[in-house]
Amino acid sequence: MSSLFQTYTLNNGVEIKNRLVVAPMTHFGANEDGTLGKQERTFISNRAVDMGMFITAATLVAKNGKTFVGQPEALDDSHLDSLRETAKVLQAQGTKAILQIHHGGVNAQANLTDGQGLVGASDHTESGAKAATADEVVGLIQAYTNAAELAIRAGFDGVEIHGANGYLIQQFFSGEFNRRTDEWGGSLEKRLRFPLAIVDSVVTLKEKYAKPEFIVGYRFSPEEPGENGLTMADTFALIDALVEKPLQYLHVSLHEFDKKVRRGADTNLTRMQLIHERINGKLPLIGVGGLLSGEQIRAAFQTGWAEFIGLGKAVMVNPNIATLLKENLDNEIATELDPTRADQYGMPDILWGLCQQGGAWLPPVKGQEWKPLDI
């Protein structure tokens, strides 16, 4: 049996001490100006121990992309000290600190953008977002690059480009959202341009800083519902392009590790297996989704479909889960939140409130029915 606690050396020579990764989790705990909040600090202060990597909450790259109350920001030098502090809090726990860089696109919240109008790949009726002009597209690529630059200057070990969960980058890739007829939309090749331009720009930045050790990862969602939504065939094209780039890892966003393909590939097989086969060893893959118990986590790793296992909800419920796994104390891993024990979890108030209400994307709560989000 391969062990979750074996090292992995990335293609840039950086050694990751084990195969466990804290999945990015928006916590709603940053200050209003996007700096490290008190509640955010509590949330991240003990969850990185014995974890190979810790990917931060989606962190904003441009004001008009702000999507969450209490979302961390990496907009300009006013955020530098706070980013430094965030990296320090994580690294002090012995993990690699990876900043997830994010723009909500049409899913941004108009009441959070300081009056700036929302933008997306194309006009979007429900949100009122407008299609970004060609100049704005270039500005958005620059915004991700600028956030990556702040991450480098702040001492982060890397960034993860958030190309998943229906946010801006995915909106450009998806035929459902992207109805452009210019160079940034239309054919599959053109829909790939925005994601790949961001990757290229961040990689060029890293070269400019002569920082080969800086980790650049990319997260994607493999499928979307909707007639023109992404299929596995689109995702294979994305993977084929990404593995040619000097990235360090890919990260798939799933709610269920074992979820089968919806369309665009063999529907009898899991998305994880086919994605891993398509990558074909060219980059390591982080797999994730509904792994709550020690048994589920270990079984997922044993499939061999992922070099790293990402944990979100399990880390919310068990801040010390990596230590429990390391010490083979699987029987001490809880798979539900105890709603009477807020003191145990150190969650920001908004996140704790959401957890109390229950939801398929949040951890199971003792005494409430739960099943994972089906997308």
Ligand X SMILES: Cc1cc2nc3c(=O)[nH]c(=O)nc-3n(C[C@H](O)[C@H](O)[C@H](O)COP(=O)(O)O)c2cc1C
Minimum distance from CB of 133 to ligand X (Å)?
27
Q: How far is the CB of 100 from ligand X (least distance, A)?
A: 6
User: Residue 194 CB, nearest distance to ligand X (Å)?
Assistant: 18
Distances (CA, A) of 33 to 78, 79, 86, 97, 272: 9, 9, 15, 21, 38
Site for ligand X contains 148 (CB under 6 A): no
**Size of interface with ligand X, in residues (CB under 6 A):** 23
Distance CA 214, CA 6 (A): 21
Candidate list 57, 132, 152, 205; residue touching ligand X; CB under 6 A: 57
Stretch that binds ligand X, among 45-53, 269-277, 310-318, 326-334 (CB under 6 A): 310-318
Contact flag: residue 362 with ligand X (CB under 6 A): yes
DSSP codes joined into one string, 65-76: G--STT--B-SS
CA distance 112 to 107: 11
| 239 counts as binding ligand X under rule CB under 6 A | no
Amino acid 199 reads V
Q: Both tokens of residue 26? A: 């928006």
Rule CB under 6 A: say whether 24 interacts with ligand X.
yes
Kindly state whether residue 72 participates in binding ligand X, applying the rule CB under 6 A.
no
Q: Return the residue of 79, 103, 162, 180 that touches ligand X, per CB under 6 A.
A: 162
Q: How far is the CB of 279 from ligand X (least distance, A)?
A: 18
Q: Which stretch binds ligand X (CB under 6 A): 22-30, 77-85, 107-115, 146-154?
A: 22-30
Buried b (16+ CB within 10 A) or exposed e, 30-47: beeebbbbebbbebbeeb
The yes or no reply on residue 26 touching ligand X (CB under 6 A) is yes
Segment lying near ligand X (by CB under 6 A), choices 76-84, 122-130, 198-206, 311-319: 311-319
Q: Which is nearer to ligand X, 72 or 120 (CB)?
A: 72
Name the residue type at position 143.
A
The CA distance from 106 to 98, in Å, is 25
Exactly one of 20, 314, 322, 324 binds ligand X (CB under 6 A); that residue is: 314
Of 60, 88, 87, the residue nearest 74 (C-alpha) = 60
Q: Coil, strand, or helix at residue 335?
A: coil
Work out whether the CA dihedral 76, 253, 291, 306 comes out positive or negative: negative
- Greatest Cα pair distance, the chain, in angstroms, is 56
Given a contact cutoff of 8 angstroms between Cβ atoms, the answer to whether 213 and 232 are in contact is no
| 255 scored as a contact of ligand X (CB under 6 A) | yes
* Using rule CB under 6 A, residue 201 touches ligand X: no
Q: Which residues bind ligand X (CB under 6 A)?
A: 23-26, 57-58, 100, 162, 164-165, 219, 253, 255, 288-291, 311-314, 361-362
